[in-house]
Amino acid sequence: MAEQILFLTGKLAQKRLQRVLHAMQPVEFGYEVRNIGVSVAALMTAQMLGRRLQDVQGVDRIIVPGLCQGDLEALGEGLGIPVQRGPVDVKDLPVFFGRAAQPVSLDDYRMGIFAEIVEAPQLSVEGILARAAGYKRDGADVIDIGCLPDTPFPHLEEAVQALHEAGYLVSVDSLDDAELLRGANAGADYLLSLHEGSAWIAQETAATPVLIPAQHTDMSSLYRLIEHFMEHDKPFIADSILDPVHFGFTRSIMRYHALRERYPDIEILMGTGNLTELTEADTGGINALLCGIISELDINHVLATEVSPHACSVVRELDRARRIMYAAKQDEGLPKGIDHGLLIGHERKPFPYNLDEVRELAEQITDPSYRVEITPEGIHVFNRDGLVTGQDPYQLFPALQPLQDDAPHAFYMGMELAKAEIALKLGKRYVQDEDLNWGVAVAPEQAEQQQQRRQSAHNMKNRAADAYQPAGSTLQAKKRKSR
């Protein structure tokens, strides 16, 4: 008979574990997935399992999460069944059983992204189209044409029509009723934003309006407007407005919650710029958290801006975050272990080797080419002549004196050590000859350039290594000079 395996897990990981096991079919074992009664699987211990495991009849092996603490051998002896730690991440379970890893699909999402061209009146139609193309590559679903107060926009109609002809959905964003009407008459798909005083514009056009309170925080006026549109069976999107930190941020989240509670089925939009633009912090984490809130509240759209230089990758971040959150929600699980694209400044596992493993590797090297690795103890450089460790390239420089007559190799090592220092300080994964992984902070076109640089680095390394092959290698030449 096939081996029967009992997989123990917690509430948050249960559905995802079941999905991974189902995707592995057919398997050579029978299995049961059992929630042991904790929320987070990593909190379970051997002692806890000893108290809570009751019916294990017919079980040949028990597999627990990789972070489960305690003496599993003793637990297994007490149960009369082997107990084994599985992988830390559920997604690695196929590899644990000798299968190919099965990445989580990020093809699906529910949230739409409006990407605003804030300074559209100051751009030519060609400039607007170029900006739209960039936003589309980054994941935008709708191109939002921003109108500026007291700034003429004579080519508004032409811009809307040009974007439509290029295949984009278009919204017009203005505080001026006349500009909204002009945009609608030119064929805009959406209007941002209408309140009780400007709702009449929706009667003049087929564009879908985004409805906002008449006065900031006046939810009663927004509710009245929503009721009016619902009574007349008119399409709309509602936005209760996200506020900046210390200017009502928490209360504004509560307003979105109240809006969803009151109207479970309407479409809602959240503008994220008041947080990403007005908080001096990396936007990747901010957008991840906002998309988590958006996922929980079933908010349908976001309006994104990239005005501040530090917010230059917001659309890409939102695109990745919405896919991660959707995948996690489908599993009724955590947004963890799905994709690392939003880990821009750090890595979950930055150090693949420990110091003892690096030392063991260094002892096996028999050629003069330099290898570089990092561990929590520092940067390690080694070749056949030994291993040196330092916290930065300046400490390592004295050991690299043999390179003073080899410019290509010296340049190559300078670049590698600079990358290694950055990785060490930030807690990122360093791999020699490869660029550091900056997640979605790197634009798709930059990724191709990175690949070309990696190839150049590899070629430079090979040329430098070739310099050691003849009898007159750099190291030997240095020794001769010193005699």
At 93-137, the pLDDT tens digits run 998 898 877 778 899 999 999 999 999 999 999 999 999 999 999
Portion of the chain with pLDDT greater than 70, in percent: 92
* pLDDT band per the 50, 70, 90 thresholds, residue 175: very high
**DSSP alpha helices (H): ranges in 209-354?**
219-231, 249-262, 273-276, 283-297, 314-330
pLDDT for 450: 66
**What is the spatial distance between Cα 302 and Cα 119, in angstroms, rounded to a whole number?**
19
Q: And the tokens for 322? A: 């919405």
Give this prediction's pTM.
0.82
Residues 6+ apart with CB under 8 A from 197: 214
Judge residue 302's burial from the number of C-beta atoms within 10 Å of its C-beta, 0-12 exposed, 13-18 middle, 19 or more buried.
buried
pLDDT tens string 441-460: 988 777 667 666 666 655 65
All structural domains of the chain, each given as residue ranges with its CATH number in brackets, are 3-96 (3.40.50), 112-330 (3.20.20.20), 355-482 (no CATH)
Q: Answer yes or no: is pLDDT of 482 > 70.
A: no
pLDDT at 397 over 60: yes
DSSP 172: E
Res. 467 pLDDT band, cuts 50 70 90: very low
Q: Are strands 142-146 and 61-64 parallel, antiparallel or unpaired?
A: unpaired
At 43-57, the pLDDT tens digits run: 889 999 999 998 899
**464 has pLDDT over 90:** no
Residue type, 173: D
Res 12 pLDDT > 90: no
Cβ of 275: how many Cβ atoms within 10 Å? 22
Residue 474 in this model has a pLDDT that exceeds 70? no
| Per-residue tokens: 45 | 């211990």
Q: What is the mean pLDDT of the chain?
A: 90
Q: What is the dihedral of CA 390, 396, 398, 404, to 10 degrees?
A: 170
Residues 419 and 436: beta-carbon distance below 8 Å? yes
Radius of gyration of the chain (CA): 29
Q: What is the pLDDT of residue 466?
A: 55
Residue 78 in this model has a pLDDT that exceeds 80: yes
Q: What is the rounded distance in angstroms from the CA atom of residue 358 to the CA atom of residue 378?
A: 11
Report yes or no: 244 and 275 within 8 Å, Cβ to Cβ. Answer: yes
pLDDT band at 381 (very low <50, low <70, confident <90, very high): very high
Q: Provide the residue type at 11 as one letter.
A: K
pLDDT tens digit sequence for 202-250: 998 999 999 999 999 999 999 999 999 999 999 999 999 999 999 999 9
What's the pLDDT score for residue 23? Answer: 87
Strands 3-9, 61-64: pairing is: parallel
CA neighbor of 372 nearest in space, from 404, 415, 425:
415
**CA–CA dist 429, 372 (Å, integer):** 12
* Residue-level pLDDT at 170: 98
Q: Say whether pLDDT at 470 is over 60.
A: no
Reported as half-sphere exposure (CB side, CA atoms, 13 A), residue 89 has a value of: 17
pLDDT at 461: 55
Per-residue pLDDT reduced to its tens digit, 245-299: 999 999 999 999 999 999 999 999 999 999 999 999 999 999 999 999 999 999 9
At 426, list the tokens: 């930030």
Q: What phi and psi, each to the nearest 5 degrees, are found at residue 443?
A: -65, 155
Counting residues of the chain whose pLDDT is more than 90, the rounded percentage is 71
pLDDT at 190 over 50: yes
Residue 457: per-residue pLDDT: 59
Q: Residue 468 has what pLDDT?
A: 43
Nearest Cα neighbor of 241 from 262, 264, 212, 218 is 212
- Which amino acid would we find at residue 315? V
Of 315-324, 384-393, 474-483, the range with the lowest mean pLDDT is 474-483
Higher pLDDT, 475 or 351: 351
Give residue for tokens 């103890």.
377
DSSP string, 40-62: SGGG-BHHHHHHH----TT-SEE
Longest dimension (CA), the chain: 96
Question: Which residues does residue 380 pair with via DSSP β-bridges, in sequence order?
Answer: 373, 389
According to DSSP, the β-strands at 237-238 and 386-390 are: unpaired
